Amino acid sequence: MSDDGKETEAAPEVSRRDLFKTAAPVVAFIALEAIGGLGVASGHKAPETKLAQGVIFPDPTLCIGCLTCEVICSQVHKAEGLSDVPRIRIFNDPSVKVAPVIQQAYPDRGSFHQEPCLQCPTAECLYVCPVDALQVEPKTGARIIREETCVSCGRCNDACPFPISPESQATSRIVFEQTSRITYDPKKDTFAKCDLCYWREGGPACVERCPVNVRIRQGIIKSDVLCLDAPKADPATWGKLRAFQTFEGSPAKGKA
């Protein structure tokens, strides 16, 4: 009740989670500053950490832009109770020279490129999270985001050295307002990134369900490589992958 005797509307109750999500970054910021951890956030090179056992390795010349990888990524993560934003994006890219075997099997499909998380050896995103939501998954070494811990501060997104291509070029035409390989999900109020589907016996769902991969495995399409693969993330593989991720027109070109 106010001083003039009139009843006033009660202030909305703040949930413990909302309070935590508001306060945690502030407390962690102070702690990071105290121990010097803000050096990484301010641009200093992050130390190398345990390599991921695998990394999503795309071959744009074999991509048909069917978006199966985006859809299955969303589906398996949603079934696991996680954010259903796709962890891999497909973009229209007229600069890609489509492999003859794909032109023959899928004429007039267009040309595309795929942009997944690179599971970076130095993984800058790991070292800027104020609440330790970004972790290295013990079994696969994947850099993952614990969504129940994430406070949506966006520092991982800012630290990611690989921007995403303009979403105006996205084959799905869905806009997530992405600026890196890490995506904000407003429905779950969390950030999400490729986690190599670490809980799946079959590994990354996008690799397993890609229709071009299926046909390559069946021998219908003759190719020595897969459209999407998950090779060991050793330095040589990562170096090649980084070169793959510098596309014409992509903001990632010439960076990192």
pLDDT digits (tens, 9 = 90+) for 55-97: 999 999 999 999 999 999 999 999 999 999 999 999 999 999 9
**CA angle centred on 81, ends 13 and 210, rounded to 5°:** 145
Q: What phi and psi, each to the nearest 5 degrees, are found at residue 95?
A: -80, -15
Q: Please state, for a pLDDT cut of 70, what percent of the chain lies above it.
A: 76
Is residue 154 in a domain? yes
Give the other-Cβ count within 10 Å of 235's Cβ. 10
pLDDT confidence of 233, banded at 50, 70, 90?
A: confident
In a domain, 255, yes or no: no
pLDDT confidence of 240, banded at 50, 70, 90? confident
User: Residue 10: its pLDDT value, please?
Assistant: 44
Is there a domain that residue 254 lies in? no
> What is the number of structural domains in the chain?
1
Write down the pLDDT at residue 11.
42
Domain contains 83: yes
Structure tokens at 27: 């407390």
Q: Confirm whether 10 is domain-assigned.
A: no
Residue 130's nearest CA partner among 102, 149, 111, 103 is 149
In a domain, 250, yes or no: no
Residue 101: domain span? 16-244
Question: What is the per-residue pLDDT for 252?
Answer: 42
How many C-alpha atoms does 65 have within 13 Å on its Cβ side?
Answer: 20
Beta strand segments in 36-193, E: 57-58, 89-92, 112-115, 134-136, 143-145, 183-185, 190-192
Mean pLDDT score across all residues of the chain: 82
In this prediction, residues 154-180 reach a mean pLDDT of 93
Asked whether residue 1 is domain-assigned, the answer is: no
Q: What does the pLDDT average to over 174-183? A: 94
- CA dist 223 and 132 (Å) reads 42
- What is the band of 234 on the pLDDT scale with cuts at 50, 70, 90? confident
Determine contact, residues 69/87, Cβ cutoff 8 Å. no
d(CA 90, CA 76): 18
Two tokens at 20?
């935590």
The rounded percent of the chain whose pLDDT value lies above 90 is 66
Rounded Cα distance between 148 and 152, Å, is 11
Number of helical (H) and strand (E) elements in the chain, helices listed first: 9, 8
Instruction: Note whether residue 169 is domain-resident.
Output: yes
